[in-house]
Chains A and B, each alone.
Chain A
Amino acid sequence: RKEVEQDPGPFNVPEGATVAFNCTYSNSASQSFFWYRQDCRKEPKLLMSVYSSGNEDGRFTAQLNRASQYISLLIRDSKLSDSATYLCVVTALKGGTSYGKLTFGQGTILTVHP
């Protein structure tokens, strides 16, 4: 089983649609969770950190369910500029410590069309 699993998509949605991405992680001791977006041939950019209480940033909502080891990202009112690969990222733990090591999911490709 992969440490972080995402539905690779691709997701093709029209402008204005709501789209949800899911991610599961295998290490129950993982501490920190993030969503990054990566445009084609560009670097990953932090979209948002994910907290147990859930958090929202404009059109984006992230949820974390520690019991199910499940992370989600909801994008409302999709824009053309939301087209990118969305990476689910979890701190990787080995022997109880991570020291900066992140584990990336394979990424979910989103294309928003007019």
Chain B
Amino acid sequence: DTEVTQTPKHLVMGMTNKKSLKCEQHMGHRAMYWYKQKAKKPPELMFVYSYEKLSINESVPSRFSPECPNSSLLNLHLHALQPEDSALYLCASSQVLTRSGTDTQYFGPGTRLTVL
């Protein structure tokens, strides 16, 4: 089973709202990722967690705040977003992080976010 789940599927929020995206996997993977994907573009890496610790932050604005409460869950807290933040937010997981990045990443279905 290579399933990564994400909730909600769709989210509409105003620029003053606070919301959270959730991601869950039960494959025993110890590396989890957040990506952002705009229409007709490839996914862009935002954050990487390894063993529940933040490993990579790709200079993402502080209005995006990741959290990894345990090895199966990954959250992305959103606050004071801008309309240009509207995108598909994808979560992924892999077994572990390696120096060469050889582990396959499995993606969840994504949350389609619209910021009004």
Chain A interface (Cβ within 8 Å of chain B)?
Answer: 31-32, 34, 41-46, 49, 87, 91-93, 96-102, 104-107
Contacts and interface: CB of A to CB of B under 8 A. Distances in A.
A43 B105 contact: no
Contacts of A97: 99-100
Given A99-B56, A100-B105, A106 B41 contact: yes
Nearest to A6: B42
A108 B55 CA distance: 31
Contact of A100 (B43, B56, B108): B56
B109 to A, nearest CB: 5
A27 B54 CA distance: 26
Contacts of B90: 43-44
A34 B105 CA distance: 10
Interface size class on chain B is 20 to 34
Contact of A99 (B41, B97, B108, B109): B97
A43 B110 contact: yes
A34 B101 contact: no
Q: Which of A31, A101, A105 has the most CB of B within 10 A?
A: A101
Contacts of B41: 106
B25 interface: no
A107 B55 contact: no
A58 B90 CA distance: 28
A107 B42 contact: yes
Q: Which of B88, B99, B100, B101 has the most CB of A within 10 A?
A: B101
B106 A105 contact: no
Contacts of B55: 99-100
Q: Which of B43, B55, B88, B108 has the most CB of A within 10 A?
A: B43
Contact of A101 (B101, B104, B108): B101
B94 interface: yes
B80 to A, nearest CB: 27
A102 B104 contact: no
Interface in B96-116: 97-110, 112
Nearest to B43: A104
